Structure 1
């Protein structure tokens, strides 16, 4: 079997790969629309073929202005293949080697979108099982399950308690707060960054990530009590598709006092005041307090995502 990136002439065969399972599908219309914006590209689209027949396909996605892909959106292996996980793993691994050779600093992750309660659906569980096996075998061995939430205007803008004052600040001030709120965080990515890089470097990486997101830097806010005590930060941000709740956190000594609701209300209000029709948000399945805060603020659970990434 031959593994390679595609050329423009491969497009009809790429689009002909139809995912019939209940997860992991990207429609031809979406692929073409986002390819026109440079978010899917021939060199990021990989296939496995034998005798001119496409037996597997990997659709890697990245922001329009990115030199390298950020995530694997869709992994397809023909149902007639005896060991779909092995072929999928080889295709992912071949892609990752090529991206590294092209200068990618880190391997992109694999993002599998599921429905809430997916474990009770045998077809979804089976479709995830071979994809999970492929991701792990290809080296994307760090696994996190995340909940995706959405807010829309019909849900109403949550109202803060009025206890906090929100202000703008420079990057140095935000960097210091990123470092403080990382302590004791329940977020898996934050904990992983702390373990791999230490507090200062992890805080820098976290902040740099949000600086690179499509959201505007002047949306960011620090939160203080009326007497000037620092409470935390609230970062409204955006994806290429929607405004989102980028990052929020409370300093360790003030947790458990309900301030997270005030931070989330401020982020929601700032987006709503700019006319947002949808605000998205994610949190780890294991971060029960944050998930509960989203639900109390009226956010609805819309998806579950299994995210596979390379170890730090």
Structure 2
């Protein structure tokens, strides 16, 4: 690693980060300059490796303003051997108080795309060299106006009456189908979106929809039209048979409010949920593979019991 310099950025050096060509330009993400402006990225939590004056690795840890947790590695590009990336991560971990979560973001269906595998092989190998271990994968899906499938008419839907009704139903649902933004909720506010969604979703209770089968609640969904983009923040079932129609109802509510795109995050191992999202018209946008320190138990709130991370 001759002529290799590893260091954090200093204020005013943002151009150095952007001097490295984006290896995955098709991946939709917030630009580094915008992240600096918004306060989530900071020079002191951004590290680069230079070889003969050229940036060959860059890593940016993200922590939104006001967040209660530790920064996580959100952006890690490597145009050198994995050992270079590992050296950068070790130096940064020492300065930042130790390793934390790394969310390796990739375009959808990355395992079937050799050009993506070629880009991600080195940074993921570097993460493993410093003791980070894969702890699950989450998929982001997007609906963009595809006609919704017809429903059976078996179920009725109504707004939730109040927070007490929502919390009572949430307490009965062991593993929600959809949790969008679970990682951000945990990092920013320390909130487990799966068990306490109203601590994060501050909109009116009437925004939620409850599915009824002959008057009995069988599922609920928390559409959020006023988030950074319209999304299905929470979807949980007491009867799996209602999944498809509750998804349709959530999208219908958001589209009626003017949404042209709806986002939903699902754990990659939830094959039935992903299939139903796709039947509803959602298409995969990206994948995030979660890496955590090997000695850590990955937080259930962030990676869904070792499989449950914008």
Residue 246 of structure 2 corresponds to residue 263 of structure 1: yes
Partner of 1:76: 77
In 1, Cα distance between the equivalents of 2:222 and 2:28?
Answer: 31
Q: Is the 8 A contact 1:146 1:305 kept in 2?
A: yes
The correspondence of residues 95-244 of structure 1 with structure 2, limited to 5 A, is: 96-97=96-97, 107-116=100-109, 118-153=110-145, 155-162=146-153, 163-182=155-174, 206-208=194-196, 211-212=199-200, 216-218=203-205, 219-227=207-215, 229-237=216-224, 241-244=228-231
Could you tell me the TM-score, scaled by structure 1's length?
0.73
Measured after TM superposition, the shift of residue 57 of structure 1 is 1.7
Partner of 1:103: none
Choose the corresponding residue for 2:21, options 18, 23, 26: 18
Counting matched residue pairs gives 281
What is the SS of the residue equivalent to 1:181?
Answer: coil
Instruction: Quote the RMSD (CA, aligned, Å).
Output: 3.7
Whichever structure has more helix as a proportion of its residues is 1
Note the residue ranges of structure 2 that are not aligned, 5 or more in a row. 181-189, 300-310
Q: Is the 8 A contact 1:23 1:124 kept in 2?
A: no
Measured after TM superposition, the shift of residue 245 of structure 1 is 1.7
Measured after TM superposition, the shift of residue 20 of structure 1 is 3.5
Q: Give per-residue Cα distances to partners, 1:200-221, cap 9 Å, x unaligned.
A: xx996524456425x7344223
What is the SS of the residue equivalent to 1:182?
Answer: coil
Q: Give per-residue Cα distances to partners, 1:240-289, cap 9 Å, x unaligned.
A: 642112221211xx33x2x0012111210111011011111121222111
Choose the corresponding residue for 1:8, options 4, 7, 11: 11
Measured after TM superposition, the shift of residue 24 of structure 1 is 7.3
Measured after TM superposition, the shift of residue 158 of structure 1 is 4.4
